[in-house]
Homo-oligomer: A and B are copies of this chain.
Amino acid sequence: MSPAPAQRGREELGKHEKYRNSTGREIRELCRAGLWEDSTAGMARNFYQANLVILPKEYAFEFMCFCHRNPKPCPLIDVTEPGNPEFARAAPGSDVRTDLPAYYVYREGELVEERTDIKNIWRDDHVGFITGCTFSADAVLEESDVEFGRIETASGRFGAYVTSISCEPAGRLHGHMVLNARPVAAHSVARVVEITSRYPLAHGGPVHVGFPEQIGVDLAKPDWGQDRGTFGNYVPVFWGCGVTPAVVARESRLPEMITHKVAHMFVTDLRI
């Protein structure tokens, strides 16, 4: 019998705890060796983790423009040369085809496949992009005096929501912005803005503070992740979310996009 979700959550966190002080390279090597197919939450806490997007070269300039125009959901960290699977600046020696625990493949905007490597589908015209991830700021927030509402989900994280905010389009790329919500004690709101604004590569400061309905969000119905936390007397604060490109793939009907699996990130060599 598989353990109850709360029990499983604690076990998972324990398993991740072992790699808390690992380097980015160590996590990538673990994935490359086929020894880790799980979420990277809480691992290599001192290193930036990143969302992955792989697109055909034909879309590369447009996606660069998209990231530049939408830095809150898509803070660009590094770009590969076309056909070269290495993120040469953020993670020298890396191989994007093997160094993540799991991948999603989207075709015509639909998620069609989940894989643990992409060796057989990587092509010479593929370009890889990594954009910053909220896990990186989490490490700093954990040590801070910011008071959050209780988080009881197995993943230890709150839900992500497709909002009514349109991203700034770029060529053929357009879509609604995805935001992560966290409940913040009123007396901590200014502080959490100050702290997260210092980390633009981890989505920076919030996109919205206070009224979910103004951005088309029903807190009880996240599009990703369970929301079993408490908002109650806490202020809902929303940060850019790296799932946004998946929504862009769907809304723009992109022929092909490969990404990391949600929460299964590329861990860089960049220290926070």
Contacts and interface: CB of A to CB of B under 8 A. Distances in A.
Interface string A54-79: 00010011001100110000001001
A68 B76 contact: yes
Nearest to A88: B168
13 contacts: A57-B61, A60-B61, A61-B61, A61-B64, A64-B64, A64-B65, A64-B68, A65-B79, A68-B76, A68-B79, A69-B89, A81-B171, A89-B168
A61 B59 CA distance: 9
Interface in A34-64: 57, 60-61, 64
Given A65-B79, A69-B89, A81-B171, 10 more contacts: A57-B61, A60-B61, A61-B61, A61-B64, A64-B64, A64-B65, A64-B68, A68-B76, A68-B79, A89-B168
A57 B57 CA distance: 13
Contacts of A76: 68
The 3 closest A-B pairs by CB, nearest first: A61-B61, A64-B64, A60-B61
Interface of A: 57, 60-61, 64-65, 68-69, 76, 79, 81, 89, 168, 171
A257 to B, nearest CB: 17
A65 B80 CA distance: 9
Contacts of A64: 61, 64-65, 68
A61 B171 CA distance: 13
A146 B124 CA distance: 52
Contacts of A61: 57, 60-61, 64
A17 to B, nearest CB: 35
A83 to B, nearest CB: 11
Contacts of A57: 61
Nearest to A65: B79
A65 B129 CA distance: 11
A97 B181 CA distance: 44
Contacts of A60: 61
Contacts of A171: 81
A68 B201 CA distance: 13
A79 to B, nearest CB: 5
A226 B171 CA distance: 43
